């Protein structure tokens, strides 16, 4: 069997087992590659199935499956000659809506094989960037501060409530109201700690992710939770508004995290050491998600607007900027999510970056979006 490019050697055995489970039908793995038009090409499997990339691309397009660079699929042919396709992923798919299983035995076999390939790839090739390693290395002190403070306050509030309830005599109406307010504050403190710990968990998980289906709203909230803490020392506040209850896309959540981090920090830099605010807004259109990051800082000169996404271009002082942040933003949005980035800026008034992400069809069980 042909070695599978980019996978651990165990991947060939996974394909062999899948072929056996399908009664000897050939099984292959394909990957979407870049070019003028994205197309799929074989990266391993039986030679019978390493032909017909255009046919497979047509089948994926006909089923409404987005083709993005780096996406991988495991394929076979049914007895009737039609394609049976499952994505290579590192997390099991969500259960079918209403619990009714409609996938064929062949599809379920490929789903399992695709999951095995994704887990092998994730185990052998973890994706860690220098920035994510640096952030994760500094998290223990941040966790102790951000989660420890609200939990300490919550414990103190519960202690006072217990002492009140244990005291002899009845509690009058005013005191009862105070106790209830104290308990409500305890819940708020616990929620704050839980939200922060969840954001840390999401960041750590995202650093090792490859491609998976994830909720954009949750990824954005997790990023903002961490960035608020990091921007405090710079006297920059971070505000978030959304009309979205939940919207799922397929890609690398860590990549979206890095996009938003770069846009937020770029917006904070626009204040040049002064106090200010960065506004983040997430909206949902008919077929797209729209993510805006706005500042009211120095703005960008008109002659520089066409250059900001060029690798190496920066208007910052030597040693304060590499000129790669916005280039990374545009590259990730285009290549990972098939989206676009627009910029609107005026000197002395501020800058708005607008990221538009195609929104695939949502499953019936996904949370509906407001507005």
State how far the Cα of 244 lies from the Cα of 294, in Å rounded to an integer.
18
List, for the chain, all residue ranges whose pLDDT scores fall below the cut of 50. Answer: 1-3, 35-38, 47, 50, 123-133, 136-137, 206-209, 318-319, 369-371
CA separation, residue 260 to residues 224, 267, 284, 318, 362 (Å):
9, 10, 17, 24, 23
Residue 99 is predicted with a pLDDT of: 67
Question: Parallel, antiparallel, or unpaired: how do β-strands 28-33 and 248-251 relate?
Answer: unpaired
State how far the Cα of 283 lies from the Cα of 241, in Å rounded to an integer.
9
* Residue 349: CA count within 13 A, CB half-sphere: 7
| pLDDT tens string 209-225 | 456 778 899 889 888 87
Is residue 283 within 8 A of residue 321, CB to CB? The reply is: no
Q: Edge-to-edge strand order for the sheet containing 236-242? A: 236-242, 276-284, 288-295, 350-358, 340-346
State how far the Cα of 310 lies from the Cα of 300, in Å rounded to an integer.
14
| pLDDT tens string 151-180 | 766 777 777 777 777 776 667 777 777 777
Residue 312 is predicted with a pLDDT of: 67
Contacts of 77 (CB under 8 A, 6+ apart): 25, 26, 49, 83, 84
Q: Give the pair of three-digit tokens for residue 257.
A: 């995290």
pTM recorded for the entire structure: 0.50
HEC states along 234-251? Answer: HCEEEEEEECCCCCEEEE
Residue 63 is predicted with a pLDDT of: 76
* CB atoms near residue 335 (< 10 Å): 16
* CB atoms near residue 45 (< 10 Å): 25
| pLDDT tens string 116-145 | 888 776 544 444 444 444 554 455 555 555
Question: Parallel, antiparallel, or unpaired: how do β-strands 288-295 and 340-346 relate?
Answer: unpaired
State how far the Cα of 285 lies from the Cα of 64, in Å rounded to an integer.
18
Residue 347 is predicted with a pLDDT of: 92
């Amino acid at each position: 069997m042909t070695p599978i490019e980019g996978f651990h050697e165990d991947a060939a055995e996974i394909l062999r087992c899948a072929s056996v489970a399908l009664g000897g039908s050939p099984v292959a793995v394909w990957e979407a590659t870049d070019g003028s038009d994205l197309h799929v090409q074989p990266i391993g499997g039986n030679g019978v199935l390493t032909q017909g990339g255009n046919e497979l691309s047509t089948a994926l397009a006909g089923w409404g499956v987005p083709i993005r660079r780096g996406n991988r699929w495991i394929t076979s042919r049914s007895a009737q000659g039609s394609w049976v396709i499952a994505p290579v992923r590192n997390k099991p798919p969500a259960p079918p809506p209403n619990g009714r299983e409609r996938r064929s035995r062949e599809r379920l076999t490929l789903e399992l094989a695709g999951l095995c390939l994704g887990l092998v790839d994730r185990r052998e090739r973890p994706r860690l960037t220098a920035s994510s390693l640096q952030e994760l290395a500094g998290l223990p002190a941040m966790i102790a501060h951000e989660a420890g403070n609200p939990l300490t306050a919550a414990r103190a509030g519960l202690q006072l409530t217990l002492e009140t309830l244990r005291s002899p005599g009845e509690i009058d109406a005013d005191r009862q109201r105070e106790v209830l307010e104290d308990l409500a504050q305890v819940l708020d403190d616990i929620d704050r700690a839980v939200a922060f710990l969840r954001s840390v968990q999401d960041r750590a998980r995202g650093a090792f992710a490859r491609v998976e289906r994830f909720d954009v709203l949750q990824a954005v909230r997790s990023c903002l939770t961490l960035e608020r803490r990091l921007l405090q020392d710079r006297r920059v506040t971070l505000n978030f508004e959304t009309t979205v209850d939940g919207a799922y896309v397929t890609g690398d959540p860590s990549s979206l995290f890095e996009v938003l981090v770069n846009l937020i920090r770029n917006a904070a830099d626009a204040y040049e050491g002064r106090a200010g605010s960065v506004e983040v807004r997430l909206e949902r259109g008919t077929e797209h998600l729209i993510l805006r990051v706005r500042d009211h800082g120095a703005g960008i000169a008109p002659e520089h607007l066409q250059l900001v996404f060029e690798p190496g271009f920066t208007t910052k002082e030597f040693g304060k900027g590499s000129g790669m942040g916005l280039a990374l933003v545009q590259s990730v949005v285009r290549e990972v999510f098939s989206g676009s980035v627009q910029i609107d800026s005026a000197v002395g008034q501020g800058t708005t970056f607008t990221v538009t992400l195609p929104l695939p069809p949502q499953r019936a069980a996904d949370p509906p979006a407001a507005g």
